[in-house]
Amino acid sequence: MSDVVIDISGVGKRYALTHQHRPDSLKVWLRDMVKRRLKLGTNTATDEDFWALKDVSLEVKQGDCLALIGKNGSGKSTLLKILSRIIPPTRGQIRLRGRVASLLEVGTGFHPELTGRENVFLNGAMLGCSEKLIRQRFDAIVDFSGVERFLDTPVKHYSSGMYVRLAYAVAAHVNAEILVIDEVLAVGDAQFQEKCLNHIGSSLDSGTTVIMVSHNIPAIYAIASDVAWLQDGQLIDYSPIGSGILEHFKQA
């Protein structure tokens, strides 16, 4: 059996951007809407295709850590959302072998009105875990997150760091074969970031595959095995960590 667990083939993502004149009053807007309905006026809206990703292809093997790098708007988070099945690709396909646990934007999968305790079970269910399994690992999740004191407080009162600590703790205990992380190392204090790095390292040792987005170059050097450089939605380079790709990226 092949040890490739993520196969990304010719993936592209297109968004339709609509450019339309916005009237400066409700009266004008209503009048223009009636004219359009009665076909008495012309539609001034224009559409533009924006490709967030363009023909991206790469493979990731079991136990590898792929770091996605690139400037803001280069398509990194779009690729992670496609891998997490939050959005579909416009073209191309992705083959995944194993359960995927995603930690993307702060608070993704959390309901602000529910408590931290309730959100552990909600988020765990979204990641494919049974209630029985979450109960078995509940104490370990809470201990990892460090938010035990606020466990019965609605998470809308949490800081962004508390959000991430609890969300990462859930994702870390669902035994996923593939872990998808977006900038988690940019939130939280140094102690928690070190805890995350240690957990990612131990997960890699046990065969978990990791795809991460980070602007933390030292962290990438510490845990990544390969680096993919995205620019304007295109894959510029895909190389092992020791190939000099990060130095080239920093100079670009």
Q: DSSP for the chain?
A: ---EEEEEEEEEEEEEEEE-PPPSSHHHHHHHHHHHHTT-S----EEEEEEEEEEEEEEEETT-EEEEE-STTSSHHHHHHHHTTSS--SEEEEEE-S-EEEE-STTTT--TTSBHHHHHHHHHHHTT--HHHHHHHHHHHHHHHT-GGGTTSBGGGS-HHHHHHHHHHHHTTS--SEEEEESGGGSS-HHHHHHHHHHHHHHHHTT-EEEEE-S-HHHHHHH-SEEEEEETTEEEEEEEGGGSHHHHHHH-
Q: Residue 210's CB: how many other CB atoms inside 10 A?
A: 22
Q: What does the pLDDT read at residue 99?
A: 87
Query: What is the pLDDT averaged over residues 78-86?
Result: 92
Mean pLDDT across the chain, nearest whole number?
86
Amino acid at 177: E
Query: What is the pLDDT averaged over residues 155-173?
Result: 88
- The verdict on domain 4-251 having CATH code 3.50.50.60 is no
- Phi then psi dihedrals of residue 208, to 5 deg: -70, 140
Q: Are 122 and 109 in contact (CB under 8 A)?
A: yes
pLDDT at 61 exceeding the cut of 50: yes
Higher pLDDT among residues 62 and 184, named by residue: 62
Q: Residue 52's CB: how many other CB atoms inside 10 A?
A: 22
Structure tokens at 190: 């140094």
Q: How confident is the model at residue 1 (pLDDT cuts 50, 70, 90)?
A: very low
**For the segment 92-119, what is each residue's pLDDT rounded down to a tens digit?**
999 999 989 888 765 567 899 999 999 9
64-78, 80-94, 123-137, range with the lowest pLDDT:
123-137
**For the segment 179-213, what is each residue's pLDDT rounded down to a tens digit?**
998 876 666 677 888 888 888 899 899 999 999 99
Q: What does the pLDDT read at residue 248?
A: 81
Structure tokens at 67: 């770091």
pLDDT at 242 exceeding the cut of 90: no
